[in-house]
Every structure is written in C-alpha cells, then in structure tokens.
Amino acid sequence: MRRTRLAGVAIAGAAVLVTGTGTVAGTAQAVESGGRRAAVSKARVEALFDRWNAALATGNAQRVADLYARDAVLLPTVSSEIRTTRAGRVDYFKHFLESKPVGRIQQRHIKILSRDDAIDTGLYQFTLTNKDGSKSKVDARYTFVYERRGSAWLIVNHHSSAVPAG
C-alpha cells in the first residue's frame, strides 16, 4: 500500500515538471488524486487580487475584511497603525473606501510556496476620488500572502506602502 501511494506522488510530480513551463509555479493544473488538492496556479493568485479589488469597488468595508484570515496582519498604505484584528481592518477600510480606490497592478511577481500558500508582490497604482470629485493617483508597493484554509483562499498578510520619491 505504501509503495503504491509513493508511486502516485512521483507520477504527479513528474507530470508537473514535464508539462510545466520550467517551474512548478508556471503550471496551471496539477494532478489531484486520493483527496489531495490541486496546486495553485499563477492565474489563480492573479484572480485573488482581482477579487480583492472588486471588493473595494463595493464600498463595503465588511466585504473587504471578509477576504482576510481572522489572524491576518494588514500594514496599510495610508495608515501607520498595524491592523491585526477584523475590527481594525474594517475600521481602516471604512476610511480608505471613502476615496473610492481602484487598484491597477503595474508590476507583479508571484511565488507559489505550496499547494496552499502563495505570495503576490510588486507595484500597484490606486486611483482615488477626492472630496471635490477630482482624481489623484498613488503609486504603492504591495505584498499579499495568501493561504488556503479549507476551501477558501484568504489573505494572511498584506503590506502596502507608498513608493518612495527618488
């Protein structure tokens, strides 16, 4: 029995290496057998940002906070306060969402850590609506760390900071 299970794992690993683009992170699908979850793909991680950005567009801080794990850490763009509780994250997003932020990725680097963990880091730009209706842009660095918990992909760590001048 043990020998069969190990052979199945080796075959699944070989399929990933042979059909991939040279890295495990480049594969869109993984062999799923015996109840094992499929590996996450770069496209799936990209979609997690799109989901977060769409939650911002709702203007609902609760909905944005739903995307974070209960024990997540948020180091936000426009606050010096580290948010480690749901209430703290909701409070931050209530204020941030007043400016109707829309994020756009400018540069991205995705690293797949395991079937259940991935990092998306890079540069994004927010278009914000000012109180007078005019628009402004903020360039920021970001890191999202995602973890699959049960069947849900959640943000466990999110850092965002304005790009320094110069």
Sketch the domain layout of the chain as residue ranges: 1-39, 40-162
Distance CA 141, CA 123 (A): 4
Q: Are strands 102-114 and 68-75 parallel, antiparallel or unpaired?
A: unpaired
CA–CA distances in Å: residue 128 to residues 5, 85, 102, 134, 163: 53, 25, 7, 8, 16
What pLDDT, on the 0 to 100 scale, is given for residue 104?
A: 97
Quick one: pLDDT at residue 165?
Answer: 87
Neighbours of 22 (CB within 10 A): 8
Using CA atoms in the order 34, 37, 39, 41, what is the torsion angle rounded to 10 degrees? 140
**Ordered per-residue pLDDT tens for the chain, 166 residues:** 433 333 332 323 322 222 232 222 333 333 333 456 677 899 999 999 999 999 999 999 999 999 999 999 999 998 999 999 999 999 999 999 999 999 999 999 999 999 999 999 999 999 999 999 999 999 999 999 999 999 999 999 999 999 998 7
What's domain 40-162's architecture? Roll (3.10)
> What's the confidence (pLDDT) of residue 35?
52
Residues whose CB is less than 8 angstroms from the CB of residue 149 and which lie 6 or more positions away in sequence, other chains included? 69, 116
72-107 burial string, b = 16+ CB within 10 Å, else e? bbbbbbbeeeebeebebbbbbbeebbebebebeeee
pLDDT computed for residue 19 by the predictor = 25
